[in-house]
Structure 1
Amino acid sequence: MVFSAHGKALLLETPTQWYAYRVDNPYPDIGWRGLWHRIWYENYPQPDFIWQSTAADDSYQAKFSLVPLLAGSLKAALYAMLFATPLALAAAVYTACFMTPGLRRWVKPTLEVMGSLPTVVVGLIAALWLAPHVETYLSAILALPLLCTLGVLGVGALTARWMQGREVLMLMPVLLLIVLGVCWLAPALEVSLFGQPLFQWMDGNFVQRNALVAGIALGFALIPLIFSLAEDALFNVPTRLSQGSLALGATPWQTLWHVVLPSASAGIFAALMLSFGRAVGETMIVLMATGNTPIVDEGLLQGLRSLAANIAIEMPEAVMGSGHYRVLFITALVLFIFTFVVNTLAETLRQRLRRRYRDEGDHA
């Protein structure tokens, strides 16, 4: 028994004669197993999740696994949230609870204006300017989170008494010096330690447009959203709660951790979940800042392809009514269901947290 090349006919041999059957299965490459399970395709060494919708040979078997696309969407969103969440929440806490009112009137609108930047512009900058610089200063970029954290803590400890509310005026020059110093020293250290730049030493484990570039660019686009929602939630905590805590002898930091943050947790959680939903559905930044390779790989320096970017790439070239065309609509449906579930869960938990802390505040 053998099927024809496109699965439209079946030829059956018996001991007495041959039988030919017409198979009415217009989309043989589309099925639950093909979309979500590992398939062992011909000439492949092992079963795997593969997305390959087109090829040079017209007789090839289309491969429509959605797992690499979903993994790429989650990977880009996760790295973007890891980049944006600490910066945005730290900025929101400082702006709402410690910054002087005059300085806050300048800082808050400036950060919110960042949210109006078109994502296609951010993606273009990431692809043409950021990706080559990440390649050149790879070790510096990997070391900067730790060094900047130490710089922030050091400046905060030194200026806590005599620049209260204006620490940012000293913090910005210090962070700038840290960034310039690390970027100046990193290339020389790479050559002295590895004999060549780090990205060349990594060889096949590095792709110029990778998840790190996408995470930085997408995280930059998420910072204004997280900051604005979280800062509003923190700033709108009733002053009677914080003033009562301070009157009872708590320090400003104790008041922040035990009073302000729990009371604003509903708004902060909503900000994070809404930002995560936006990151999963982002198209242009992920499309332009990654290699658009549909692979399942957790590496920070490898490429990826997201659900939204895949729709933008392949929908203009898909033949209307074909299996490829229908799978792209299935991809859009998966993306819609995922974001709908995330946003619904976020709203449900936010309402529960708001009700819980509102009741506790009323009792207090």
Structure 2
Amino acid sequence: MKTRWTVAAADVLSEFVITVGGIGTIVAVLAVFVVLVARVAPLGLPASLSGEVARETHWGATEPVHLAIDEYQTIGWVLFDDGRLETFRVDNGEKLGERQLFKDKQLSAVSTSVGRGGLLLGFLDGSIQFADIHFATTFIDVVDAPEQFHGMKPGERATYQPNDNETGVLELTSQGQYRVQLLESSVLDPVQVTDKAILMLDHVPEAASGGNQVSISKDDRKYVCFAADGKLRYGTLKEEEDFLTGDVTLKNETIALEIADIQGERPQFLLQTARGNDILLAWKSGQMVRFVRENAEDGSGYHLNPAEKVDLLPDTDAQLTVCDFILGRETVFVGDSQGGASGWFLVRGAETEEPELQARKTSDGFTLARVHVLQPAPGEKINSMRASERSRMLVVGYESGRFRVYQMTTERLVLDRHLPKDAPVIGAMIMPKDNGLLVESGEGIYFWDFDPRHPEITVAAAIMPVWYEGYPKPRQIWQSSSAGVEPEMKLGLYPLISGTLKATFYSMLFGAPIALLAAIYTSEFTTHKVRAVVKPTVEMMASLPSVVLGFLAAIVFAPIVESFLAFFLTTIVVVPLTFILAAMMWQLLPRRIGLILESWRLWFMVPALLLGLAVSYLLGPLVEQIAFDGNVKLWLDGRGSGVVGWLMMLLPLGGMFAFFLNGAFINPYLRARALQWNRSQFAFLSLAKFAALVLLTFGVAWLLSSALYWLPTLFGAEVWDPRGTFIDSYAQRNSFVVGFVMGFAVIPIIYTIADDALATVPKHLRSASLGCGATPWQTTVRVVIPTAMSGLFSALMIGLGRVVGETMIVLMAGGNTPVTDWNIFSGFRTLSATIAIELPEAVENSTHFRMLFAAALVLFVITFLINTAAEIVRLRFRKRAYQL
């Protein structure tokens, strides 16, 4: 009675634990999914404006030449055409100070640059002057702060005057320090360029600290200007210091070009690219001429040569109203009088896939292309545009009072609003940290707190090709970091998904056949004694940590494979053939000796393996010389004939053809005539047949390879070379190495589960098959494997899941190059490796941070779909097994 109650209690407890464990597992998986979705969902949220502040300006109706605000939105400065430089507080509009940047001159043109404090000023008298205006930030400890500022609360601001000549703003930070913001300015001596008024000018600014923009140095300032005399001038201003006196003089070198005969009317826009060698001159009609600075053929110096003429406003009669660079000085924003907006930059014409661009012939091979078309505002004239200082966003102001924020790379309309009274927008700017928005109209200035969310990414940008600066066509790229803010953020997930699938494919291609065949062999063809030794040995392989395998792959295996590449390629073919040849030779043994050695049959594979490796080592140089033109790596780079490349891929097809021919014709023919043959005769015949089928396999593969390679030449095309597809240039850390090492990591899992599945097949099925006269091989193929198919398939799916989620091996041996090719000799980057590398350094809640969670979500979905499909297939196999 007591035992019965004990058993009943154990049953109830077991049922409870199993139920809780199963439900808990489902809840845990759903919780992971919910967390990932919660992290990724904000990527799709729209931008928001809040905390509107409207204020009249202290400069009244006078329109400033330029306005700038510091990154903390503490102080700002405005420059007027008479040289006045005024500073003011952003929070209340209080005027802090005034200084004269230049005197006795009338400003006629000014050149600024996004994110830089340097200005180039042009005057009516034909002179130019470089100026540097920037914000200076200093910190004061609480104990060192003036007494009148004690007792301030964090975030509170006050006007601060450290001396009679400077006035700034002091703010108590949340860290307990006083942050002081001041404005510093300096100017170089004016340089006389011409005796006519400077109408337009542009310059290449100095690079910001830590930036990677190609720009000028302080003693080599490049500029371009257009004067009232109708000449375009390209100049270089150099500072030369007298090493004896220390005096600094400015040396100006200019190139002048008369452009009156290029276009009848006066141009309206003048731009100079970041490298300073391309000058863009545009007219209101939308016509733009690009000039290139080139070396003169006679060695006389540099010349400005027209490279191409482009219509910026095709298929419209609108007028060009805005033409200026966004961050990086490569992409030009083009806005017109009818609300159209687009982005243009230079591409290499010969590499692009656009027929119109390929047809343009330019002197330098580059052409200006309309890459981005932004959502228009039909019928509304664009008045102004100003780009963000830290991203690819830009704010556009319209005459109707509308203002919009776009993201150029993704072509996303981030924000679309109107001023309260629909007053025309004079100017607008995004604050330096992209956390605020300023819009200026004739009635004053409007401030908002601005949260753009994550405009750098869209669903299309994450999975589809995007046309980035510097590329001749749209590409799918993952490049989440750079040395500065100028390069575009590239967060395409496709290269990571492709790398994950690539690693999975090559790893399973190597590991799955070996594991399954090993399980079938030890389960069906070896003795229990041998199986008791082999199975624990294989399972011990699973104890090797992934980081150890990755380290060995990167430090040991990869250099060895690179040094003996021909040997390893030869091994792939020679070693399997050696094993089959050894099996054929075993049949030549007398029956009595074969039975005696049957229990040692497995260990005779070791000499066969060593023989195969030795033959591969000896044949490697010969194969490299004959098939790969003397050097495998140079052959992969394009030297010699590519027929062998097709041969490598078509060998399995040739083997399938030989296998079909053997089963359909050769074996039936031999069975009818070999009934009277003895064991030795049949063994010799099998050996001869094997040799003939191997030659047939290579012959068929070679014929097909030659046909594929040379067939396009019959139609006047180039040969069809496989190099550049599944085989290409060799990298030391590549898919070949990863597939080999990760295959070993997955073999124990697949082998163990497959062996257990085969062991569960009822013995009476085997006995019935053998009793009907079937051989052990026929019994295995036609009875055991179909019955155990659900378990074998589960083994493959569990191994597949292990490979898909692997991190350390692919991280250390995969090269971490986010490419999208399927070249077995190149590297890749997987979703899991990217998450492991970049998540610790990603700024929390940034676009990069959330895209890493998106990568994790994609990995979760891929695994979930694979497992779901696998379970459906497994149940079908299981149902069929029950019917046996």
TM-score by length of 1: 0.93
Shift of 1:209: 0.4
Shift of 1:201: 4.1
Aligned partner of 2:387 in structure 1 is: 4
Map of 1:275 onto structure 2: 799
Whether the 8 Å contact between 1:100 and 1:166 is mirrored in structure 2 is no
Aligned to 1:190: 624
Kindly state the Cα deviation for residue 7 of structure 1 after the two structures are TM-superposed: 4.8
* In structure 1, C-alpha distance between the alignment counterparts of 2:393 and 2:576, rounded to whole Å: 62
Question: Could you tell which deviates more after superposition, 139-148 or 214-223?
Answer: 139-148
CA 84–193 in structure 1, closer or farther in 2 if over 3 Å, else same: closer
Secondary structure at the counterpart of residue 396 of structure 2: strand
1:117 matched residue in structure 2? 544
Aligned-partner SS, 1:115: helix
Q: CA deviation at 1:155?
A: 2.0
Partner Cα distance (1:273, 1:353) in 2: 14
Tell whether the 8 Å contact from 2:575 to 2:616 is kept in structure 1 after alignment: no
Deviation at 1:228, TM superposition (A): 0.7
Supply the distance in 1 between the matched residues of 2:873 and 2:599 (Cα, whole angstroms). 33
Q: Is the 8 A contact 1:136 1:197 kept in 2?
A: no
Does structure 2 retain, via aligned residues, the 8 Å contact 1:36–1:66?
Answer: yes
- Rounded Cα–Cα distance in structure 2 between residues aligned with 1:71 and 1:215: 15
Distance 1:356 1:3, change over 3 A: farther
Question: Structure 1 vs Structure 2: percent identity of aligned residues?
Answer: 43
More displaced, 126-135 or 2-11?
Answer: 2-11
8 Å contact kept, 1:214–1:286: yes
Unaligned runs of 5+ in 1: none
Cα distance change, pair 194–272 in 1 and its aligned pair in 2 (3 A): closer
Residue 351 (str. 1) matches residue 875 (str. 2) = yes
The match for 1:243 among 746, 767, 777 is: 767
Alignment coverage as a number of residue pairs: 360
1:107 and 2:534 aligned = yes
SS of residue matched to 1:20:
strand
Q: Which residue of 2 aligns with 1:330?
A: 854
Assess, with a 3 A threshold, how the Cα gap between structure 1 residues 194 and 245 changes in structure 2: closer, same or farther.
Answer: closer
For 2:633, the equivalent position in structure 1 comes to: 199
Q: Which has the higher contact order (CA 8 A, sep 6+)?
A: 1
CA offsets 1:118-173 (integer angstroms, 9 cap, x no match) = 01100000001110111112122222222222122222233255144532211111
TM-superposed deviation, 1:111: 0.3
Higher-Rg structure is 2
1:216 aligns with 2:740: yes
Match of 1:285 in 2: 809
Any conservation in 2 of the 1:274–1:346 contact (CA below 8 Å)? no
CA distance in 2, matches of 1:240, 1:134: 48
Q: Are positions 1:256 and 2:780 aligned together?
A: yes
Q: What residue is the counterpart of 1:227 in the other structure?
A: 751
Distance 1:146 1:193, change over 3 A: closer
RMSD after superposition: 2.0
Corresponding residue of 1:20: 428
Structure 1 CA distance, aligned partners of 2:471 and 2:558?
32
CA distance in 2, matches of 1:155, 1:222: 27
Q: Is the 8 A contact 1:131 1:213 kept in 2?
A: yes
The aligned counterpart of 2:714 is none
Q: 1:55 to 1:65 in 2, by over 3 A?
A: same
The letter for the 1-side match of 2:632 is L
Determine the structure 2 residue equivalent to 1:96: 523
Q: Is the 8 A contact 1:70 1:307 kept in 2?
A: yes
Q: Could you tell which deviates more after superposition, 16-25 or 226-235?
A: 16-25
Residue 570 (structure 2) aligned to one of 143, 146, 156: 143
After superposition, the Cα gap between the structure-2 partners of 1:189 and 1:151, relative to the gap in structure 1 and judged at 3 Å, is: closer
Q: Aligned match of 1:55 in 469, 472, 482? A: 482
Structure 1 distance, partners of 2:754, 2:731, is 35
Q: Are the structure 2 counterparts of residues 334 and 3 from structure 1 closer, same or farther at C-alpha, using a change threshold of 3 Å?
A: farther
| C-alpha spacing 1:193/1:234, structure 2 compared with 1 (3 Å) | closer
Pairwise CA distance, 1:197: 3.6
Note the C-alpha offset of 1:14: 3.7
1:294-315: CA deviations, max 9, x gaps?
Answer: 0101111011000000111111
Task: Output the CA distance in 2 between the equivalents of 1:57 and 1:345.
Answer: 45
Contact 1:123 1:286 (C-alpha < 8 Å) held by counterparts: yes
TM-score (norm 2): 0.39
- Check 1:87–1:14 CA distance in 2 against 1; reply closer, same or farther (3 A cut): same
CA distance in 2, matches of 1:73, 1:193: 32
Whether the 8 Å contact between 1:99 and 1:166 is mirrored in structure 2 is no
Q: Distance in 2 between matches of 1:86 and 1:194?
A: 28
Question: Are the counterparts in 2 of residues 98 and 164 from structure 1 also a CA contact under 8 Å?
Answer: no
Q: Distance in 2 between matches of 1:53 and 1:134?
A: 31
Q: Contact between 2:554 and 2:812, CA under 8 Å: does it hold in 1?
A: yes
Amino acid at match of 1:67: Y
Give the Cα separation in 1 of the matches to 2:810 and 2:492: 19
After superposing on structure 2, the runs of 4+ consecutive aligned residues of structure 1 that deviate more than 6 Å are none
Q: Secondary structure at the match of 2:543?
A: coil
Q: Please name the residue that 1:319 is paired with.
A: 843
User: Which of 22-31 and 326-335 deviates more?
Assistant: 22-31
Alpha-carbon spacing, 1:197–1:132, altered in 2? closer, same or farther (3 Å): farther
- Asked whether the 8 Å contact 2:810–2:830 carries over to 1, the reply is yes
2:606 is equivalent to residue 172 of structure 1: yes
Deviations 1:53-93 (A, max 9, x none): 01112122201000000000000110001101121111111
Distance of 2:533 and 2:519 partners within structure 1: 14
One-letter amino acid matched to 1:4 = A
Greater shift, 57-66 or 162-171, is seen at 162-171
> Is this contact kept in 1: 2:570–2:620, CA < 8 A?
no
Tell me how far apart the structure 1 counterparts of residues 496 and 742 of structure 2 sit (CA, whole Å): 17
Q: Which has the higher helix share?
A: 1
SS in 2 for 1:205: coil
Structure 2 match to 1:65: 492
Give the SS at the match of 2:520.
Answer: helix
Paired residues of 1:100 and 1:165 also in contact (CA < 8 A): yes
Residues 17 and 88 (structure 1), Cα distance of their counterparts in 2 relative to 1, 3 Å cut: closer
Residues 3 and 214 of structure 1: CA distance in aligned 2, closer, same or farther (over 3 Å) = farther
**Contact 1:245–1:259 at 8 Å: present in 2 too?**
yes
